[in-house]
Structure 1
Amino acid sequence: MPSSISPLSQPEPENTCPDCLYMTLAGIPVQPVEHPDYLEFLQPFHNPQIDLYLTLRFSQQWESLPQGRIQFGLKGGALRLRVEGGEIPYESRIMGSMELVLPTVETDSPANRPSRDRTSPEFDMPTFDSQENGATEPQLQKRQTDYHSICHITTKVTEENPAWIFEEERGQPVLNGWLNQVKLGTLNVSALPCRLDATFEVSRRDICLTQVDRLWSPEISRNKQAVLDRLIIQQLLERKCKPYLSRVELHYDG
């Protein structure tokens, strides 16, 4: 595979919640087809083309609160591209259902808990018969996330600023696993410099709690649990995920 475009000059990807979603995007110039010298004059001039290769890792991230901690993941989301000096034809874009590669399962021991957990002082979560800080692991309320995940991908019809919608296809709580270096589409360069800004964005309905630890009693009713889930998502997680979860920029100067 040819080398990627200007690898040393590309800005570092931004991943604000990397344990929940990690994204990278690589651009690989398309090599022109070689023809015999005597046929060159018959070939029309073509602008440069760049194949875009996407990597997405969906998982669950822990977030610490004053009384305990929560784990969350994504049911779906939108990848939005803003392009200057080029376009991505609709027919070149990835669509359909794709299998996610499942990660290695890790136990929920203190050694495996993410080091990025941070207490959120502006969020004071009400508790219902909350457990003491010394609560043991069996008191953790887990919603099943160890499953085979299939991601359904659709795209919107616009060439200048295309978007892809990602959704969990099997009705499982969240997306879980990797899309590794899949071809997203082909960028046709029309002017230099060419710039591409990719962001992965989520709405409130895309966010799902997967585990709750020490915030309330395991005996809490489903109605109260649903209310508290919505409160956590609205007051903490939705704000944390705005304006985007991940961002990648690519520059092509010819």
Structure 2
Amino acid sequence: MPSSISPLSQPEPENNCADCLYMTLTGIPVQPIEHPDYLEFLQPFHTPKIDLYLTLKFSLQWESLPEGRVQFGLKGGALRLRVEGGEIPYESRIMGSMELVVPTVETDSQVNSLIGDRVSGELDVPTLDPQGNGTTRQGSQNGKPNHHSICHVTTKVTEENPAWIFEEERGQPILNGWLNQVKLATLRVSALPCHLDATFEVSRRDICLTNVEGLWSPDLSRNKRAVLDRLIIQQLLERKFKPYLSRVELHYDG
């Protein structure tokens, strides 16, 4: 069995606003436990399993308008998986509070390197901790560790078409930082070919304007600014984010 799902057979990920959110999903088949020949007849039929490793980079993005420009980020979103020929057991899914590494010059270069590897067709095999979870490489500047922001992750109770909800910690305006090759879940293959479609979707309440230039007078009232913010999000940003912000497909033929 190969050490990873062949990148040559995988479509390129779609990231419609890559500066705001960049997503990749890597599948690595789980190697079966080897038994002595005389015990083989006692073992049940082997069901292929694939560990799924998620990379997410949250950041800010500028969007130009006829009279100026706006900057926006995300307060949250939903990662939805649609699976054909397999299932994802609930107990294998990641959830809880997760640290996002705040981008620095060094961590940005690491993420860009990861993105470049994915585009060039080379899958980055994650570093594993003793429990088998993907670890996040933490950059530093001047020998000091990065500050972190917190992302809360919950999952819905269903083995068909599972979903993970990402939310910023209370008091944080947006999600800012990245997760690198974190183990998302384990896919149990039940039929070949097996197909997985992952989309990151957002609603209006997930979008946050963080800066506006050239669109209105600085002395505009807070209420009027709030109304205009909602109009910009509804008329411009929602169109860019629908039906999804990012999409990744994986195919497994055995």
Interval containing the TM-score (normalised by the shorter chain): 0.7 to 0.9
SS of corresponding position for 1:244:
coil
- 1:184 match: secondary structure: strand
Counterparts of 1:37 and 1:156, CA distance in 2: 41
2:129 alignment partner in structure 1: none
**Partner deviation per Cα, 1:138-160 (whole Å, 9 max, x = no partner):** xxxxxxxxx74210000011112
Taking a change above 3 Å as real, the CA distance of residues 148 and 219 of structure 1, as seen in their structure-2 partners, is farther
User: Which residue in 2 is equivalent to 1:75?
Assistant: 75
Q: Match for residue 20 of structure 2?
A: 20
Given that residues 99 and 150 in structure 1 are in contact (C-alpha distance below 8 angstroms), is that contact kept between their aligned partners in structure 2?
yes
Letter paired with 2:93: R
2:43 corresponds to which residue?
43
Do 1:149 and 1:170's aligned partners in 2 also have CA atoms closer than 8 Å?
no
Q: CA deviation at 1:217?
A: 2.1
Worse-superposed segment, 59-68 or 39-48? 39-48
Which residue number in structure 2 is paired with residue 183 of structure 1? 183
Mapped pair 1:33 → 2:33: yes
Q: Distance in 1 between matches of 2:87 and 2:166?
A: 21
* Cα offsets for 1:87-119 (capped at 9, x unmatched): 0000000000000011027xxxxxxxxxxxxxx
Amino acid at match of 2:41: F
Tell me the distance in 1 between the aligned counterparts of 2:179 and 2:49. Answer: 23
Name the structure 2 match of 1:160. 160
Larger Rg: 1
Q: CA RMSD in A?
A: 1.4
Letter aligned with residue 194 of structure 2: C
Of the structure 1 ranges 82-91 and 218-227, higher mean CA displacement relative to structure 2 is found in 218-227
Unaligned runs of 5+ in 2: 106-146
Cα distance in 1 for residues equivalent to 2:238 and 2:149: 23
Q: Partner amino acid for 1:7?
A: P
Q: 1:170 deviation in Å?
A: 3.0
1:138-153 aligned within 5 A: 148-153=148-153
> TM-score, normalized by length of structure 2?
0.81
The secondary structure found in structure 1 opposite 2:159 is: coil
Q: Which moved more, 1:218-227 or 1:205-214?
A: 218-227
Q: Which 10-residue stretch deviates more, 178-187 or 165-174?
A: 165-174
Which residue identity is paired with 1:69?
Answer: R
TM-score (norm 1): 0.81
CA deviations over 1:203-225 (Å, ceiling 9, x no partner): 01000001111112222211111
Q: Deviations over 1:182-220 (max 9, x none)?
A: 000000000000000000000010000011111122222
Give the alignment of 1:1-254 within 5 angstroms.
3-104=3-104, 148-254=148-254
* Cα deviation code 1:51-95 (max 9, x no counterpart): 000000000110001111000010000000000000000000000
Can you give the 5+ residue segments of structure 1 that lack an aligned partner in the other structure?
106-146
Deviation at 1:171, TM superposition (A): 2.7
